[in-house]
Structure 1
Amino acid sequence: MLTRRGLIKSAAALFAAGSVSGGFNPVFAKAPFRPSQAPGFYRMKLGRFELTALSDGTIPLSLPELYTNTDADEARKALGAAFMGTPTDTSVNAFLVNTGDRLVLIDAGTGTYLDGALGKLVANLEAAGYKADQVDDIILTHIHTDHSGGLTIEGKPVFANATVYVNKREYDFWMTTPVESRPANVPPSHFVEAHASLKPYAEAGRIRTFADNAGILPGVGSILRAGHTPGHSSVVVESAGDKIVFWGDITHGNVLQFDEPGVAIQFDTDQAEAVRARAAAFEHAADGKYLVAGAHIAFPGIGHVRRDATNFDWVPVNYAS
């Protein structure tokens, strides 16, 4: 009587003897490497709202050489202790809030700048089930190219129906500061890129500025955290008792600056002011226990801040399907 066990034993014997029809040689086929990740989006609920983190990609940065107020070797050791090499793959994140009535995008990615090393935001937006022309509002935490460059490609707006919101002092700094008055530590190309990214929206009358610490949209407010740029602002979203603060560039990475908030980075327009802003943001988040989303914290960049023996600690959100 043929049994399942006997069939398996017989097949195994034939395989070992090489007597399967055609003289089969048991060599496993090789497969090519697949360097791409799954689409970069992560979805979660915030009260009655739906929040989607969107990856614009990652870029390798030599963070120890970019950090200031510290020794590069010490920074390298701190990153190594967290199993991060140098250069360090650094996330560029944006976030989509679906209120049920409006789609609100917070930061717009890099677009075609940086030689295409990033620029994955629109593809990941589509993978998450949305189209760029469905976005109603875009709130910029600030106008650095990795936050605003994705607004426009080849002179045309990527988000055809969106209105762009930005802090007034931030807008004025990038768009109206005379060349002779621009800070020496800000590359001239950043001003050129800011103008190119915002121009189509300005010409269409679709830019709105907001005051320091002002409301932006219903359920959406702001906190001025100047220093990284003059009008750098965190965006506050609340729904049904839940709260999240989109930090912008309060930190670059999720290791060193939590232990050493006094460490700045060369990208800061005013490093001393950026240090003060970071300290205030850490204190506020740890006391408030609300969710935080960081533009340059490992994707999806959402979590909490807590105090520990070495100042503060980053606690990523617990994954949920």
Structure 2
Amino acid sequence: MTTVNDGFGRRPNPGEGFVRNADKAAVEAALRDAFLPTGYLEISYTVTLLETPEGIVAFDIGTGGHLGPTSGRLAGNLRAAGIDPARIAHIVFTHFHADHCSGLTDAGNAALYPNAEIHVPAPEWAYWMDDAQAARVPEAARAGFANAKRRFAPYADRVRRFEPGAEVLPGVRSLATFGHTPGHTSYVVSDGGDSLLVLGDITNRPELFVRNPGWHAIFDVDPVMAEATRRRVLDMAAAERLRIAGFHWPFPALGHVAKDGAGYRWVADAWSAAP
């Protein structure tokens, strides 16, 4: 397993509007408790990659640099890690928000991963590819539908849909984790006695949403369902002591969670630059 950073997005004034059901004072107190600034929040983007007998598997594929100057670092960091994009044989998606799928294509919308099969949860695909659904959402949300259709279009003959709960690839089992989006899916990767939970966006920054699982992020399509999913999955991860890869967790985006009062405690993995 290798985690590769794609940069970050910066959200100004996270106490205002980022958490739907907590006031500014509570959000800023949580940020201060985590020794984070209150005037902005840097939200990391990190792609998890696995070496397998079937080739390299990527979970989500980042921004492609389409979302701002502080993101789009995946290509350079893949080179630094000695990973040729042509060796990525499978890209497995948690969901289709722009920071997770825009990296499929370059500025001209040409495919960046010429040998990759694309694995998508069937409910997620059905939601984002439905023109009638796009017409029903608020106008501000429609750009996400157009972006998803655009980014997946060059891979049309390589998209493989699966039902959540299915084994997507050997040792990679999908887990229905709906709420953040209608088809949001997480993955449990198993190899012998070792397991890894690829979380997707069940939480955003752990200092806020692991510590306070009842908080609703502005990006949640169904915040009530997202909260129920978050509590269920974090309970499972804590009980089973699962190692977790969180797309928006601080790099290297790996750690564990433990029950702590009404919430959970995030424990970042110790890591070293040395092999």
Partner of 2:171: 219
Amino acid at match of 1:163: E
Q: Is the 8 A contact 1:186 1:269 kept in 2?
A: no
Partner of 2:222: 270
1:260 aligned to which of 212, 232, 236: 212
Larger Rg: 1
Partner of 1:60: 10
Partner of 2:136: 182
Change (3 A) 1:223 1:287: same
List gaps (5 residues or longer) in structure 1. Answer: 1-50
Amino acid at match of 2:33: A
Partner of 1:106: 59
Partner of 2:249: 297
- How far apart in 2 are the matches of 1:211 and 1:72? 39
TM-score (norm: length of structure 2): 0.94
Amino acid at match of 1:155: N
Q: Is the 8 A contact 2:180 2:219 kept in 1?
A: yes
Q: CA deviation at 1:112?
A: 2.9
Using the TM superposition, name which of 150-159 and 57-66 deviates more. Answer: 57-66
Aligned positions, number: 269
TM-score (norm: length of structure 1): 0.81
Amino acid at match of 2:11: L
List gaps (5 residues or longer) in structure 2. Answer: none
Moved over 4 A (4+): none
Deviations 1:251-277 (A, max 9, x none): 111212222211011111111111111
Change (3 A) 1:87 1:180: closer
Secondary structure of the 1:105 match is strand
Amino acid at match of 1:199: A
- How far apart in 1 are the matches of 2:69 and 2:126? 28
- How far apart in 1 are the matches of 2:69 and 2:114? 22
Q: Is the 8 A contact 2:175 2:187 kept in 1?
A: yes
Amino acid at match of 1:159: Y
Partner of 1:161: 115
- How far apart in 2 are the matches of 1:99 and 1:119? 25
- How far apart in 2 are the matches of 1:179 and 1:194? 13
1:241 aligned to which of 193, 196, 202: 193
Partner of 1:197: 151
Q: CA deviation at 1:181?
A: 4.9
1:122 aligned to which of 72, 75, 81: 75
- How far apart in 2 are the matches of 1:179 and 1:248? 23
Amino acid at match of 1:309: G
- How far apart in 1 are the matches of 2:261 and 2:235? 14
The alignment status of 1:207 with 2:164, answered yes or no, reads no
- How far apart in 1 are the matches of 2:239 and 2:131? 37
- How far apart in 1 are the matches of 2:133 and 2:202? 27
- How far apart in 1 are the matches of 2:26 and 2:100? 29
Partner of 2:86: 133
2:100 aligned to which of 147, 159, 162: 147
Q: Is the 8 A contact 2:257 2:266 kept in 1?
A: yes
Deviations 1:265-315 (A, max 9, x none): 111111111111111111010011011110111111111111123421011
- How far apart in 2 are the matches of 1:185 and 1:283? 36
Amino acid at match of 1:129: G
1:288 aligned to which of 224, 240, 246: 240
Q: Percent identity?
A: 34
Q: Is the 8 A contact 2:54 2:89 kept in 1?
A: no
Partner of 2:260: 308
Deviations 1:77-112 (A, max 9, x none): 110121101311111111110024410001100013
Partner of 1:42: none
Amino acid at match of 1:172: A
- How far apart in 2 are the matches of 1:216 and 1:147? 18
Partner of 2:271: 319
Amino acid at match of 2:115: N
